[in-house]
Structure 1
Amino acid sequence: MGIMDTIDASSPPSQSGHSRHFYLAVDRLQVKMQTLVDLLDLVGRRSCLPIVICCSTRDDLDSLFSSLSALPFISSSALYSDLAEGERASILDKFRQVTAKWNQINHAGAGNEDDDDEAGKVDRSHMIIVTDACLPFLASGEPPLNGHLLINYELPAKKETYGRRLAACLTADGIVINMVVGGEVVTLKSIEESTGILMPEMPMQILDIL
């Protein structure tokens, strides 16, 4: 199921601040990456949108970064486990600058930037791709990313991992999109039941609620 096959859904109540959690069903694993590209091509047109993409393995991180780094509306970076401390700090600082700019635009009530506009090129959305092993170390005092959109490219099997991603990656009023293939619907329902978070299908007008 692609982006345009999703149905309308109202934002559900959530036990995680004001976050809104959705799932995006994918027909086959073979089209999962293209589905993500289509989604990012849509949401990336929002000026300065801070996006976090979570995956489970280094191989998936490599694949995502290679496939997504050329997207025209979004700048991207990846958090690798073997990054030097200074390089990791620089990547995190750059992302937090984008989140600060997003908050300024959002509070000012600014609209979308045209993709041909010079300001839109300067204030592109920014995406950071990360595995669970490289999430911000909150227990050690490293600040959370505070992204506005969290995309779980791979749905975690445990509610504890899901909760850790929320705490490390998402601002209180952010949006979560869980990409779900086939049998992962069972995992999604298990997380719903154990967390009390309702996760309807992603609405077609996702841009309107970002």
Structure 2
Amino acid sequence: MESMEAPSPPSQSLSRPCQLQHFYLAVDRPQFKMETVVELLNVVGRRPWLPIVICCSSRDELDAVCSSLSSLPYISLASLYSDLAERERAVVLERFRQATFKWKQHTLDVKEEGDDSEIGNEGKKSHLVVVTDVCLPMISSGESPLSARVLINYELPTKKETYMRRISTCLASDGIVINMVVGGEVVTLKSLEESSGTIIAEMPINISEIL
């Protein structure tokens, strides 16, 4: 797809794996955004136990994303929304923490044994949580951050505070942020970049380079 065929960002942005990395993925038109996310997860989501979070601004968008991704066989999908029972919310958060632990252990095993094969069986699915801004983990109330490896901003926030809150509550310290950007949102992206003092590079063609 055309939006996935962007030139790679400067090599220095790929040389600091222990720091947050911010990228944007350009989409020509809003109606192509969902298709682009599915294509992205066709690559990213095949990593065993990879913990992923998708942030949406509204419940309607969350429902649409979950509907489109529910049939992907290599992803375990859950969501956090306003009328989710407290007990169910706790289960979603705990399962994600378990997936994060397995991902970290798998990463260590790969470094030692050199086996990084992509597997899609039930036991090793990547773990995805879709969440709205009002339902992000409540750190002040004792909930732990999600600590995802990949955070996808399906809807680009307009305020720096929202952007930073998504990162602080959903992303590991060495994680990757992928911002979906449609047409006129380039101005919003530049504003976020300037107000947060963050460099948001174009996502490389081969996303495996940054995972």
Q: Give unmatched runs, 5+ long, in structure 2.
A: none
Residue aligning to 1:45 = 46
Q: Name which of structure 1's ranges 34-43 and 102-111 shifts more when overlaid on structure 2.
A: 102-111
Q: TM-score, normalised by structure 1?
A: 0.92
Shift of 1:114: 3.9
Residue aligning to 1:113 = 117
Residue aligning to 1:178 = 179
Residue aligning to 1:148 = 149
CA 1:79–1:2 in 2, change beyond 3 Å: closer, same or farther? farther
Letter matched to residue 160 of structure 1? E
Identity of aligned residues (%): 57
Contact 1:3-1:38 at 8 Å conserved across structures: no
CA distance in 2, matches of 1:114, 1:203: 20
Q: TM-score, normalised by structure 2?
A: 0.92
SS of the residue corresponding to residue 151 of structure 1 reads strand
Shift of 1:11: 5.0
CA distance in 2, matches of 1:47, 1:147: 13
Residue aligning to 1:54 = 55
Residue aligning to 2:4 = 4
Residue aligning to 1:209 = 210
Q: Deviations over 1:54-88 (max 9, x none)?
A: 00001001101111111121110011111111100
Q: Give unmatched runs, 5+ long, in structure 1.
A: none
CA 1:12–1:59 in 2, change beyond 3 Å: closer, same or farther? same
Shift of 1:122: 1.2
- Trace 1:14-93 onto structure 2 (pairs within 5 A): 18-93=19-94
Shift of 1:4: 3.3
Aligned residues, how many?
Answer: 204
Q: Deviations over 1:130-176 (max 9, x none)?
A: 00000000111110000000000000000000000000000000000
SS of the residue corresponding to residue 12 of structure 1 reads helix
CA distance in 2, matches of 1:153, 1:11: 26
Shift of 1:3: 4.9
Q: Deviations over 1:79-130 (max 9, x none)?
A: 11111111000011011100000011112225433446xxx43111010000
